[in-house]
Amino acid sequence: MARKGQPIELTMEDKQELLTMSRSHKLERRYVERAMIILHSAEGKSLDSIVEITGKSKPIVNKWRQRFRKDGLKGLKDSPRSGKPKTITPEQKAMVIEKACTKPGGGYTNWSQGRIGKEVGISQSKVFQILRKADLKPHKIEYWCGKPRDPEFEQKMINIVGLYMNPPENAIVICVDEKTQIQALDRTQPELPLRSGEPKRQTATYKRNGTVSLIAALAVHTGEVTANTMQSNNADNFLKFLKSLNRKYRNKKIHIIADNLSIHKHKDVKEWIGGKRKIKLHFTPTYSSWLNQVEIWFNILTKDVVKGGIWKSSQQLADQLMEYVKTYNETRAKPFQWTYTGDPLIIS
């Protein structure tokens, strides 16, 4: 004969709350089961019957009945776990920070969180927590310019921006620079084309078929690009390019903006420029080649042509570059718009 347990008496409020819990579809399953155990007990069902109905073991059923008798509905909640005591000592925290701020030995250049943890005797996750709390990021490197800022920065910057915003009458402003060592890469297997659900696919292995350098001039106020490919970037090729620009714009004064590359300041270049009253060369401030608008066009070229390209030879690459320049001039060439409208930036 099944033994009946000590009956559980419920208040109307408790019974209603237990019924709500037992019928809930959002409550965690374990709480639903605990409510069912108490309701069956209140109905006078035997221990064996409750075990059979709920599928829980006798110790589990007895546990929640006893917890309810002692603490009511609160007894059906999980007891807070004590957790492990803190095992990280102040000395270990100090060691983590010290190691993160010093260069490691053994031929390593940088610390990893895993190696710091192994040295100190704690887990990588604990190392991460300590470093985050100390706001230390040993994996991150920021670069800064070791040389002093160009003392003539403001003067050169204002001069160049002035040419962009208010060019001299009957003059053309041209930005010139080189994009060197563009690699003619070929893939070891044929490219798989784009199709629904899958991107264009290329093998990770490739073959180099030489390099091509491109020298380009952007006419700031029309957007037209003049360009030539070349095998090497030197003063002779730069000078030849300047002479071609002189022929192309023979009836205009030419203001050429270039960066501080040594070939742009070569003695032969200076000598030739010195004999041309209609040509003036303007240099961007040191470390400020971003002021040269042709850099914007080079970025467009990289996205449209260089990225993901496949070429069987350097000549094929050179031909495509020149074809792109022609297409760009015919379909897209227009001046870049000055969009900054806020207060002048403070130069510290």
Mean pLDDT by 10 residues, the chain (348 residues): 67 88 85 88 87 88 88 83 71 92 90 91 92 88 73 91 91 96 90 82 88 96 96 94 95 94 95 93 92 96 94 95 97 88 56
| Cα torsion angle, 21, 25, 27, 28, sign | positive
Q: What distance in Å separates the CA atoms of residue 77 and residue 71, rounded to the nearest whole number?
A: 10
Side-chain half-sphere exposure of 30, counting CA atoms within 13 A:
5
Q: What distance in Å separates the CA atoms of residue 315 and residue 319, rounded to the nearest whole number?
A: 6
To the question of pTM greater than 0.85 for the whole model, the response is no
Length of the chain counted residue by residue: 348
- Helical residues (DSSP H) of the chain, grouped into ranges: 12-23, 29-42, 47-54, 58-71, 90-100, 113-120, 124-133, 153-165, 235-248, 267-274, 294-301, 314-331
- Other C-beta atoms lying within 10 Å of the C-beta of residue 158: 10
Q: What is the pLDDT of residue 3?
A: 56
Beta strands per DSSP E along 57-188:
171-187
Q: What is the pLDDT of residue 346?
A: 53
Residue 103 token pair: 């260069």
The one-character DSSP state at 183 is E
Q: What is the pLDDT of residue 347?
A: 47
Phi, psi of 333 (to 5 degrees): -60, 125
Residue 337 token pair: 């718009």
Phi, psi of 214 (to 5 degrees): -125, 130
Residue 345 token pair: 């930036």
| Residue located via tokens 């300041």 | 265
The amino acid occupying position 49 is S
| Residue located via tokens 């033994």 | 3
| Residue located via tokens 């403070």 | 346
Q: What is the pLDDT of residue 348?
A: 44
Query: What would you report as the CA-atom Rg of the chain, rounded to the nearest whole angstrom?
Result: 38
Q: What is the pLDDT of residue 4?
A: 57
Q: What is the pLDDT of residue 73?
A: 87
Q: What is the pLDDT of residue 248?
A: 95
The one-character DSSP state at 337 is P
- Helical residues (DSSP H) of 101-248, grouped into ranges: 113-120, 124-133, 153-165, 235-248
Q: What distance in Å separates the CA atoms of residue 145 and residue 275, rounded to the nearest whole number?
A: 36
Q: What distance in Å separates the CA atoms of residue 73 and residue 76, rounded to the nearest whole number?
A: 6
First CA to last CA across the chain, in angstroms? 92
Q: Is 276 helix (H, G, I), strand (E, B) or coil?
A: coil
The one-character DSSP state at 259 is -
Contact 266, 238 (CB under 8 A): yes
Contact 134, 92 (CB under 8 A): no
The one-character DSSP state at 105 is S
| Residue located via tokens 């060592």 | 181
Contacts from 87-91 at CB under 8 Å and sequence distance 24+? Answer: 87/122, 88/122, 88/126, 88/130
Sequence-distant (≥ 6) Cβ neighbours of residue 296 within 8 angstroms: 336
The one-character DSSP state at 305 is I
- Containing 34, the helix (H) or strand (E) segment is helix 29-42
The amino acid occupying position 167 is P
- Other C-beta atoms lying within 10 Å of the C-beta of residue 25: 5
